[in-house]
Structure 1
């Protein structure tokens, strides 16, 4: 989506708090127990993947700026 120009890294960075909240809400709905540890073990990898993608986007935008 970044290559197509549909989304910018700035937009994804601004929505970070909503992604974190959404990950924990989704984890609370999906997990069968009300245990916070189980919910965190489900939400944290999703948040980590989001953060990793933000770093890749930053690298892509930096490379795209060098090409121009």
Structure 2
């Protein structure tokens, strides 16, 4: 079985759905700094692991 993930910047993650604290709701806007900080905190707690699939680096507009 082959999986293909196309795109410029791709990430995958595994989440402990019982322990991960979500912060996204209907009024949420994309704030990359807030997203990075939140994911980093959840990673420190052992609730999520995220990795980048591309070698180009993260694009910031």
TM-score (norm. length: structure 2): 0.28
Higher strand share: 2
Higher Rg: 1
The structure carrying a bigger helix percent of its residues is 1
- TM-score, normalised to structure 1, is 0.26
